[in-house]
Amino acid sequence: MKKEQQYMKQTILFLFISSLALLCAVFDSVDNGVAKSISFIGGLLFFLFLLLGYFMFYRFSRLRKQNSDPSQTIQGKPGIVVFFSNPHAKKADIAMILSFIVSLVTLIMGQVNEALHANMLFSLISVLSSAVFIFTIQMHAILNGVNYRYYMTLNKSK
């Protein structure tokens, strides 16, 4: 059971690091070779940790299916279509909605006023809100899903 819990914790950690790697996209607008390299490395780190996160999630799901009794398996809809199923999911869902709104506003503002793209602070806010939105979408799907409900039962049985 300890192994399963580690897989879930690693999943969340890797997805968080993946989203943080998007912050390197701020340097994409700088005309410096080093800054472009940082942006490129950030993109590679994003996909590397994204794949690692989903690999750990797959391993957790596989162990859940192996270790659970078929008569007691937790059933339900996929986590992506369920909202506010537990306190952790409620926080992720609210953060997802708020970060979506901020991302949408910054996108529209950037389209209306092209001078904002040159502003590094605006770029940072725009990329940060997008990174938070991507992370909270993933957390929404995980925290509202069957695997997280199983994870919570493991924590209660300690």
Give the integer Cα–Cα distance in Å for 61 and 146: 9
Give the integer Cα–Cα distance in Å for 158 and 61: 20
Output DSSP code: residue 44: H
Look at the block and give the residue holding tokens 């899903």: 145
Residue whose C-alpha is closest to residue 138's, from 59, 52, 70, 67: 52
Q: Check whether 61 has a pLDDT greater than 70.
A: yes
Q: Check whether 71 has a pLDDT greater than 70.
A: no
- pTM of the full structure: 0.89
Give the integer Cα–Cα distance in Å for 102 and 38: 25
Residue-level pLDDT at 117: 66
State mean pLDDT over 65-93: 84
Residue-level pLDDT at 113: 83
- 3 state DSSP class of 145: coil
Give the type of residue at 130: S
